[in-house]
Each structure stands twice: as structure tokens, then as C-alpha cells.
Amino acid sequence: MKHWTIWFAAGLLSVIAGLVALANPLAATIAVEQLAGWAFLVIGLIAGYVAFQEEIQNDRIWGLVAAIGIALIGVVLFANPLAGILSLTLIVAILFLVTGVSKIFMALPMRGTNSYWTLLLSGGLSVVLAIMVFANFPQSAASILGIILAVELISNGASLVAIALRKRLMTSQSAQKATS
């Protein structure tokens, strides 16, 4: 791809956004909570529209019940952002714990393979993160979502920059071969 600069710019923008989020994790946490609220509200509205299109009465009713529930989650997140931040933080901590334990148990039968240590360490890190969030709850809620967002943005940006540099190298190599 000739447009490696676009990949590079997107990666750089992502890293900068991640650093901004890391510098103010509370603001980033609030932004994540509000984004989740919008996502639930829009998904609920779309699900409601789709439910009205159902021809089978039972599917329409249950689809509407689900759509209303999803949309209400969004409304609740808007109405009480602090409760939303606390709830989302608990969900993240539970997710870390469950995925961490799962990775550890998946690693055990892989003993002696290249994947064993990677999976075991990844699972252990997830469990440690969950314990850290739980041990400092509710204080951890003020920053954890923002820090997770910051780390993701920085990681995403670094990978986009790496892709861009690889594409730049491939483009220059192709140009050299064409002139040879």
C-alpha cells in the first residue's frame, strides 16, 4: 500500500490520545462511561426497530423486551454516571478474573509447549489486575477504565505505526525492484 503515511498518522494520533487519557484517567473514565451509555442506547433503539420488523408475535415481544432493557441501560448510564462507572469497573474486574483463571486452566495441559508460559503469564496478569481492582474498589473506579482505554490506545497506535513502517519499507523495496 502506498499510503503508509495515513497508517502512520493514525498510529501517532492513537498514541497521543492514549497519552492524553493516561494523563487524565478520570476524564477518560467518564468518557468511556458516556460512550458505553450512547452505545447501549443506540443498540437498544436499533434492536427495537428490528423487533418491530419481526413477523412472529412472540419474537416481536421478546425482541422489544430486550431492546427496551438495552436502551434502559444506556439511559441509566446517562442519568447516573457515577453508578455507571462503578458498575462498569466491577464488570471489567470480573472479566479480568474470569478470563485470567480460564487462561491459566487452558495453559495447564500445554505444559512443555511454547504456548504454556505465554498463556500462564497472561492469565496470571489478568488475575493480578482483577485482584488490584477489587482490593481498591470503589476508589479504583475513578481511573481504571481510563487507564485501560489509554493502554489500548497506546498499544493500538504502536501497532499502527509498526504497520506503517513495514508498508513504507515494502513500498521502497518494490520501487527499487521496479527501477532495477
Of 42, 39, 40, whose CA–CA distance to 70 is shortest? 40
Mean of all residue pLDDT scores within the chain: 89
Q: Once rounded to an integer, what is the mean pLDDT over residues 137-156?
A: 88
The mean pLDDT of 10-27, rounded to a whole number, is 93
What the block records as the C-alpha cell of 115 is 504456548
Structure confidence at residue 104 (pLDDT): 93
What is the band of 57 on the pLDDT scale with cuts at 50, 70, 90? confident
Helix (H) or strand (E) holding 140: none
List, for residues 91-114, the tens digit of each pLDDT value: 989 999 999 999 999 999 989 888
How much is the average pLDDT of 150-164?
87
pTM of structure: 0.71
Is it the case that residue 17 has pLDDT exceeding 70?
yes
pLDDT of residue 55: 87
Question: Given a cut of 90, is residue 160 above it in pLDDT?
Answer: no
Q: Is 149 exposed, middle or buried (0-12, 13-18, 19+ CB in 10 A)?
A: buried
Return the pLDDT at 113. Answer: 86
What confidence score (pLDDT) does residue 179 get? 76
pLDDT at 87 over 80: yes
Q: Are 71 and 48 in contact (CB under 8 A)?
A: yes
First to last CA, the chain: 20
- Name, of 67-76, 139-148, 160-169, the range with top average pLDDT: 67-76
The predicted pLDDT at position 2 comes to 63
Cell of 47: 434492536
Residue-wise pLDDT for 41-56, tens only, equals 999 999 999 998 988 8
Angle 22-40-128 (CA atoms, 0-180°, nearest 5)?
45
